[in-house]
Structure 1
Amino acid sequence: MVQTLRKPEIIEMARREGKVTVDMLVDHFGVTPQTIRRDLTELAESGQLERVHGGAILPSTTMNIGYIERQELNQPSKVDIARECVRHIPNDCSLFLNIGTTTEAVASELRRHTGLLVVTNNLNIANKLAHESSLEVVVTGGDLRRADGGLVGAVARETVSRFRFDFAIIGCSALHPGGDILDFDTREVGVSQAIISRSDKVFLAADNSKFDRKAPIKIAGLPEIDVFVTDKIPPTEFSDACKGNDTQVIVAKNR
């Protein structure tokens, strides 16, 4: 395939997958690593992609990738992370799950629990748990974000403020090496901050791809996170920041 035809497909793959790697592109196109690296360099120089170790990502720091693409991205890892998270959640407690495809995976793994009060601002989670008679489910209300079923804004924050949660499991869109937890929507970030402030123990559930992405709005820092559950050992700087802030890191096992 000639270079002019590869480049649009590379960009589309980055949009769909969140990241492209040299190895995956070599396998896909049947060309040499040197050819792919040259393509990525040229796409980065034109501002269409941003080079990262081993590949490239979309350069935008202001817009998230689509919900369907997020659902498919690293799905097996999200299931592993979800299973690890629920191991630490006892029966008969209160729990908040926020917006995100990883927290949706957590909801799917909670079906064996009993006596839980699950509060969420994610309609997809509410639908997953709607028929679980052993769980009580509360939906916050708020402004509906139709793209992903999220409920955001002042009404959602106000609902959160009426509760005190034993646990919260939150997701995010990106992780900064220095320890900042990031997202794209100011309205969603405000709700996430309220969740953290009203929870006794906060779990951050995020796969390793979040280290390759950027987002403009800070949700919180590591001092506000008790446990970070992920699928691979984090980069050294982030691991050191976790140690410095007494944030426990749990790497989920592949099951």
Structure 2
Amino acid sequence: MQTEARHTEILARARDKGKVSATSLATHMGVAVQTIRRDLRQLSDAGLLERVHGGAVLPSGTRNIGYDDRRALNRDAKARIAAKAALLIPDNASLFLNIGTTTEALARALRNHRNLKVVTNNLNVAMTLADVRGCEIVVAGGVLRPSDGGLVGDLAAIAISRFKVDIAVIGASAIDLDGDLLDFDPEEIRVSQAIITAARKTMVIADKAKFTRKAPVKIGSLAHVEDFITDGIPSERLANALADWQTKVHLA
């Protein structure tokens, strides 16, 4: 089966099932697993699929994929981005970290920092930093979203509004090519916007795959962000816009 035919078949099965396995696709098509992985990578680069552990899922503009699958998605890039972001965060700083697998990766990268005060609506972040000596954790109250350990809604936003921290670190589910930061849940976005408002400086951390995703609700814009840490900028137009906005881009 030629490459184009395999891609057509893979997309058809993804539309039917929502998720495809590299192993089952290889068996079905009679090719090596490595061939299917290359196909999935090409389809992911084209924005037609999203890679997850063992296979790929069909991207959605209205519904996020599962948290465990998001953890596996672009894991290495997220780790590099987190390490780069950690270098920009000094000891003795106060931070907000919102919900997301990239902010969770940043929490792991911050475990050697000293005397941090971290306010978060992300239980995964809180538990990652809970045993770090000298790190004070404040968990914003709110409605627990069991799917990802996030605390959302008005109570979380009100709790966050009582703080003024040095740096808000924000992740997003998608980024439009005009620089808009997007997510899926209006209740979560209300909290993210409160985080940005209550910080002296905003840092966005997101891998380049977020530029090929879509989500329906706007958090804000890269135009109002001081630092953007990513592993790639998709277009010269956006790169020029970031320069005009004086948003510092740090490539991981």
* CA deviation map 1:87-123 (0-9, x unaligned): 0111111101000000000000111111110010000
Q: Is the 8 A contact 1:118 1:136 kept in 2?
A: yes
CA 81–30 in structure 1, closer or farther in 2 if over 3 Å, else same: closer
Q: Per-residue deviation at 1:191? A: 0.5
Q: Per-residue deviation at 1:235? A: 2.2
Spell out the pairing of 1:6-45 with structure 2 (5 A cutoff).
Answer: 6-7=10-11, 9-11=13-15, 15=19, 28=33, 30=35
**Matched AA of 2:116:** L
Write the distance in 1 (CA, Å) between the matches of 2:165 and 2:118. 9
Question: Percent identity at matched positions?
Answer: 45
**Matched AA of 2:230:** T
Write the distance in 1 (CA, Å) between the matches of 2:19 and 2:237. 27
Write the distance in 1 (CA, Å) between the matches of 2:134 and 2:229. 26
Partner of 1:45: none
Q: Per-residue deviation at 1:129? A: 0.9
Partner of 1:98: 98
CA 243–12 in structure 1, closer or farther in 2 if over 3 Å, else same: farther
Write the distance in 2 (CA, Å) between the matches of 1:102 and 1:235. 22
Q: Is the 8 A contact 1:174 1:183 kept in 2?
A: yes
Q: Per-residue deviation at 1:206? A: 0.1
Q: Is the 8 A contact 1:184 1:217 kept in 2?
A: yes
Partner of 2:185: 185
Write the distance in 2 (CA, Å) between the matches of 1:87 and 1:159. 28
Structure 2: give runs of 5+ residues left out of the alignment. Answer: 22-28, 50-57
Q: Per-residue deviation at 1:5? A: 6.9
Write the distance in 1 (CA, Å) between the matches of 2:18 and 2:206. 19
Write the distance in 2 (CA, Å) between the matches of 1:11 and 1:216. 20
Write the distance in 1 (CA, Å) between the matches of 2:110 and 2:20. 28
Q: Per-residue deviation at 1:170? A: 0.7
Q: Is the 8 A contact 1:97 1:119 kept in 2?
A: yes
CA 132–181 in structure 1, closer or farther in 2 if over 3 Å, else same: same
For these two proteins, the number of residue pairs brought into alignment is 230
CA 190–55 in structure 1, closer or farther in 2 if over 3 Å, else same: closer
RMSD after superposition = 3.0
Write the distance in 2 (CA, Å) between the matches of 1:146 and 1:186. 16
TM-score (norm 2): 0.82
